[in-house]
Amino acid sequence: MTDRAAPTSAEEPAPTTVVALVMLIFTIAACGGYIALNVVAGSQESYAGFFFLLFWGGLQKSDLRLLPGTVMGSFAGLALGLLMHQLQQRFGDPGLVGFLAVLLTVLFLYFRQKLRLVLNEATMLMMTLSTVLHVQAHASFQGLFISLAIAVVFFGAILWAVVRLRPPAPQPAPAA
């Protein structure tokens, strides 16, 4: 018995063992490079970029057409987390009430599918990440933004090259 269902006609078949090992080696190298760039930039918040990579590279299958909205949404989500942090730091509990008003407006616009370039699923993911109490208390928002920017450029360039270099999928033969 296998650990996954057989691929449907819309899915790509699983890579061979050799291809999976090559992918693993490149993944390790890419992640190591990304972490090294974060260290050089002075950021310890590399997880922000890994969330971006998970969302765009994994869930959105590195679709270059979705990259602008994913980038804008990711930065907007972090900005909302920063807003929450700043309002609470400056005004205490009344600041959180003010943030709640902003949050309800953002959610309303998101539900209405308005401003989709900025208010999208990436926004919700990064807002969730950046409003976690532990992140609010201990993270450097400057580091979060730096790490996200590094991830967008670094992983974006790598995945752009992979998508461009990947051979086109074979087209099904026309029915006779």
- Does residue 41 form part of some domain? no
More confident residue, 127 or 2: 127
For residues 71 and 143, give the distance between their C-alpha atoms in angstroms, rounded to a whole number.
Answer: 16
Q: Which long-range contacts (CB under 8 A, 24 or more apart) does 8-15 make?
A: 9/172, 12/169
- Does residue 80 form part of some domain? yes
pLDDT tens column, 75-132: 999 999 999 999 999 999 999 999 999 999 999 999 999 999 999 999 999 999 999 9
| Structural domain count of the chain | 1
- Does residue 175 form part of some domain? no
**Diameter of the chain measured on Cα atoms:** 71
Q: Which domain holds residue 59?
A: 52-164
Closest among 45, 17, 11, 48 to 155, alpha carbons compared: 48
- Does residue 11 form part of some domain? no
- Percentage of the chain lying above the pLDDT 90 cut: 77
Q: Which residue do the tokens 């090294």 mark?
A: 36
Q: What global pTM score does this model have?
A: 0.84
- Does residue 33 form part of some domain? no
- Does residue 124 form part of some domain? yes
- Does residue 139 form part of some domain? yes
- Does residue 39 form part of some domain? no
